[in-house]
Structure 1
Amino acid sequence: MNHQLDSVLRYLRDNGLKVVTAESCTAGLIASTLAEQPGVGPILECAFVTYSVDAKVGVLGVSKETIDRCNLTSEEVAREMAEGALRISHANLALSDTGLAGPSNGDSDIPVGTVCFGWSFQIGDTDVRTFTETRKFDGERNEIRKQSADYAISRIWHYHNELTGSGK
């Protein structure tokens, strides 16, 4: 991912994007991956690791009703995590994830390796545009976490280009 990470960081810098992460199953790995490269200070605003329901609700403002209705592993929760992180930071791009890295799925019927992502972009002072996806990754717990972090980072340019209409 090193060459790809260089490209992503250059893209973020060139497009004036400042990142906040709201991470659950990756537990800070998205922010940590971005921070592997020197000079990331102007790009990475902050990171929230909100592993528990209480943290998602209390820190990011995720609705308990959304969690109850949709499940913790849902695009709806990923959306609210990303939008919450934007609200409480000075970033203009939020990346979020929530999912099941394993080794088991507890009492859920959602398969291990299922991760939901959100990418929220602040447009101007009040407009926010959010994209969400669900992916299924294979492997052991930390392999799923690493794949998830890499995937979240790799899709930034796709959604930013979709938003701005460039790159088509």
Structure 2
Amino acid sequence: MKREPIEDVAAFMKQHGLVLVTAESCTAGLIAARLADIPGAGALLDCAYVVYSCEAKEQCLGVKRETIERFNLTSEEVAREMAAGALKKSAANLAIANTGVAEAVDDETPAGTQCFAWAFRTGKNDDADDAARVIFSETRRFSGGRNEVRDAGAHYALMRVPHYFARLRESS
């Protein structure tokens, strides 16, 4: 029986001792849910934040209002602050965040645009120590209807874990 790609990511995470916290807007918990579909996921998933509103991003994850106003909700800067905030509030050593739009909401951001961030804890959990984490980010655009975009984003976010873990290793 052929393994699913998410099973390969889960095996990779287990092999490297990665435990995940998610900070999700556009995918509304699908990243955590996809990982939770895998047997043994309890050892790989600490918790998940679903933060749709600006207020939730600020209150739950510490995203700065100035960041949202300057860069827009759909921005790598917001995704990076979401990931950093989730990592600070969790015992996990990997955070995945995303923010974006599944369907057209304004003329500025095309439908299907998602901004992602992958944050790795590299030291002890110290709120004041920004050097204790490394964050990568990127923006992607997915096609399809609302739920197809959300599913594609969740899948993509998990599939990029080995790539960014390798980049983390190269940078240290």
Gaps of 5+ in 1: none
**Post-superposition shift, 1:134?**
0.2
Counterparts of residues 30-109 of structure 1 (less than 5 Å): 30-102=31-103, 104-105=104-105, 107-109=106-108
Distance 2:163 2:99 in 1: 20
Distance 2:109 2:163 in 1: 27
Letter in structure 2 aligned against 1:161: A
1:137 lines up with 2:142 in the alignment: yes
3-state DSSP of counterpart to 1:41? helix
1:161 lines up with 2:162 in the alignment: no
Structure with the bigger percentage of helix: 2
3-state DSSP of counterpart to 1:27? coil
Letter in structure 2 aligned against 1:154: M
1:24 lines up with 2:29 in the alignment: no
1:7 lines up with 2:12 in the alignment: no
Letter in structure 1 aligned against 2:46: E
1:117 lines up with 2:122 in the alignment: no
Moved more, 57-66 or 120-129: 120-129
Distance 1:108 1:154 in 2: 30
Amino-acid identity (%): 52
Letter in structure 2 aligned against 1:95: I
Distance 1:114 1:87 in 2: 26
Letter in structure 2 aligned against 1:61: G
Compute the TM-score of the two structures, normalised by the length of structure 1.
Answer: 0.94
**Post-superposition shift, 1:113?**
0.5
Gaps of 5+ in 2: none
Distance 1:42 1:108 in 2: 42
Distance 2:110 2:6 in 1: 29
Letter in structure 1 aligned against 2:155: D
**Post-superposition shift, 1:165?**
2.6
Distance 2:69 2:76 in 1: 13
Distance 1:64 1:93 in 2: 24
Distance 2:76 2:148 in 1: 21
Distance 2:26 2:8 in 1: 25
Paired residues, number:
164
User: Post-superposition, which runs of at least 4 consecutive aligned residues in structure 1 deviate over 2 A?
Assistant: none
**Post-superposition shift, 1:3?**
1.5
Distance 2:155 2:23 in 1: 15
Letter in structure 2 aligned against 1:141: R
Distance 1:6 1:69 in 2: 38
**Post-superposition shift, 1:108?**
4.4
Distance 2:168 2:133 in 1: 11
